[in-house]
Structure 1
Amino acid sequence: MLNPAQVRAITLDLDDTLWPILPTLERAEARLQSWLDAEAPATADQWRAPEYRRALRAEVNRDHAAHAHDMSHLRREMIALALRRAGDDAALAEPAFEVFFAARQCVECYADALPALERLAARYPLVSLSNGNADLHRVGLGAHFKAQVSAREAGVAKPDPRIFSLAAEAAGVAPHQVLHIGDDALLDVLGALDAGMQTVWVNRERQHWAHAPRQPHLTVADLHQLCTALALPA
C-alpha cells in the first residue's frame, strides 16, 4: 500500500507513461523514410521494408551489445549500416539520425499527463527516468522537471537498480523516499522495488499483473488517479 507521507520526490518514466510511444516512432520513421528517399535513394528502397529494418536492428543489437542501453547509438549504427550496404555515403548517417531524432521528440501527451505534471511538480521534485532517448526540453516538458536521467547517460538501463539510485541522487533524496511511476511492470515496477522505492504502475491498458506475490504500491489507470491518491490540489 502506498505511503504518501514517505514520498519526498518522484521519478517518472516517459514513453507510454506520459505519451504513447508507438505513434511517435511511426511518425519519426516516416519522416526518416522521406529524407532517405530524397538524399539516399538506394538506401531508401531497402529501408522501406519492415523486415529489412528488423534484420538490421537485430544485427546491430548483436554487434553493439555493449551499447544496449543507448538507443541513439544503436539507431545511428543501424542507419550507417544501411547506407553502407546500399552503397550510399555513410557520412549521411548523422544528418539522417538528426531527422529521426527531431521527429522522435514530437510527442502527443496523454490528456491527463500535462495537468498531472503541473500538480505533481507543485509539491515534489520530479526526475525523469527513461531507457529511451526523449529530450525533455525538446519535447517541451523540461520546466516541470528538476533533472532527467537516461540509460544512455547512466551507462545502464532499467531495471538495473543503479539507474534508480542515480535518479534518487538527482532528486536529492534517498531511494526509499522516492515514488517511481511507470507503465512497464518489469522495467519500472520491479526495477524500482529492487532499488528500495515505492512504485506506481500506470496500467492504461488494464493488463493483468503477472508478478505476484510482488506488487506495486499502487496501480492507476491514469495520472489523475495518482494525483487523487496523493491528495494533490486540483
Structure 2
Amino acid sequence: MYLQPNFCRPHAISFDLDDTLYDNGPVIDAAEAVLMDWIRNQCPKGEAHDMSYWTAYKRQVQAIQPELEHDVTLWRYETLKAGFEALSLNTTVSAKLATDGVDLFLVERNKINVPKETKTLLAKLSTCFPLVVITNGNADVEKIGLKPFFSHVLSAGIDGRAKPHGDLFQRAQTLLNMDSQCILHVGDHWQADIIGANQAGFQSCWLNMDRQQQADTLHKPTVEISHLAELVDLLIHQQRDATL
C-alpha cells in the first residue's frame, strides 16, 4: 500500500464497478459470444457473422455521433441498427433487432459472479461510510447483487459524460453534500478513475492489482493498493486502532 502525505480519512467513498469490484473481462467476452450467435441466427448474410463487420460499424457510428462514447448501451444499439440497415433490412426491422440484441446482451452482461470477499468488504465499509457507484459501464447493481451497499448509483450516459470528465464526480459530490476532498474514489483505470477523480478534487485510490507502473508523473493517486481488502485495513482497522 502507498499513501500520499496529504491523505486524510474520507467521509464517503465512490467506487468504479468493472474490473474494480469484480473481473469484468470474461463476462463481456461471454456476452459478446452469445450476441454473435444470436445475430447469426437472425441474419442470413454471411458478412454479419464476423465480429469485424460490427467493429467497423461501431467505429463508423462513433465517428458520426462521438457523444455516444458516453453511453455504451446507446452506442451498442446504434451500432446494431446501422449494421442491420446496411444488410438491406428496413428501419423498423433494424430498430427492433437492435433493441432485441441490446436486451439480450444486457441479460448476459449482468451474469456477474461478484466475489464473496467483495460483498463482505462493501458490507463493512457501508457501516462506516456512504458508498456511491461511479461507472462508465452498464452493469446493473441490483441484478448483480450490489444495490444494498450503495446510496447512489451514477452511470455515464444517464447521469452525464463518462469519466474522466467531471460530470459524474460532481453529481456524486452534490448528492453526498460534502467537500470533494472528503470523498475517496476507488478504481482500476488510470485515466478514467485516477485522473478523473484528481481533476474533480476527490482523493483517489488506484486499485493496481497487476502492480503496473504509474502512467504519468503529472497525476498521482492519493492511495495505491493491490487488493481491495487493504481498504478495510486502512479505513477501519487502522482508524479503530488509533482510537484505542
Give the TM-score of the pair, scaled to structure 2.
Answer: 0.87
Q: Per the alignment, do residues 16 and 36 of structure 1 end up closer, same or farther by CA in structure 2, a change over 3 Å counting?
A: same
The letter for the 2-side match of 1:171 is L
Rounded to whole Å, the distance in 1 between the matches of 2:169 and 2:14 is: 9
Rounded to whole Å, the distance in 2 between the matches of 1:180 and 1:122 is: 17
**What's the RMSD between the two structures over aligned residues?**
1.8
User: Tell me, which stretches of 5 or more residues in structure 1 are unaligned?
Assistant: none
Alignment partner, residue 98 of structure 1: 103
Match of 1:164 among 162, 166, 169: 169
Shift of 1:206: 1.3
Q: Per the alignment, do residues 75 and 3 of structure 1 end up closer, same or farther by CA in structure 2, a change over 3 Å counting?
A: same
Alignment partner, residue 55 of structure 1: 56
Give the SS at the match of 1:68: helix
Match of 2:24 among 21, 28, 41: 21
Shift of 1:79: 1.1
Shift of 1:174: 2.2
Alignment partner, residue 78 of structure 2: 77
Alignment partner, residue 126 of structure 2: 121
Rounded to whole Å, the distance in 2 between the matches of 1:20 and 1:118 is: 19
Give per-residue Cα distances to partners, 1:130-160, cap 9 Å, x unaligned: 1111111122210110010111122311111
Contact 1:175 1:195 in 2 (8 A): yes
1:118-197 equivalences in 2 (<5 Å): 118-197=123-202
The letter for the 1-side match of 2:44 is A
The letter for the 1-side match of 2:134 is L
Alignment partner, residue 112 of structure 2: 107
Rounded to whole Å, the distance in 2 between the matches of 1:226 and 1:46 is: 48
Give the SS at the match of 1:138: coil
Match of 1:35 among 38, 59, 65: 38
Rounded to whole Å, the distance in 2 between the matches of 1:200 and 1:46 is: 44
Alignment partner, residue 3 of structure 1: 7
Higher Rg: 2
User: Tell me, which stretches of 5 or more residues in structure 2 are unaligned?
Assistant: none
Bigger CA drift: 45-54 or 123-132?
A: 45-54
* 2:230 aligned with 1:225: yes
The letter for the 1-side match of 2:168 is I
Give per-residue Cα distances to partners, 1:30-88, cap 9 Å, x unaligned: 221232233x1326x43432322221111111111122201111000111122212234
The letter for the 1-side match of 2:43 is P
Contact 1:201 1:220 in 2 (8 A): yes
Shift of 1:94: 0.7
Rounded to whole Å, the distance in 2 between the matches of 1:33 and 1:68 is: 21
Alignment partner, residue 208 of structure 2: 203
4+ runs deviating over 4 angstroms: none
Rounded to whole Å, the distance in 2 between the matches of 1:183 and 1:218 is: 12
Q: Per the alignment, do residues 62 and 202 of structure 1 end up closer, same or farther by CA in structure 2, a change over 3 Å counting?
A: same
Shift of 1:184: 0.8
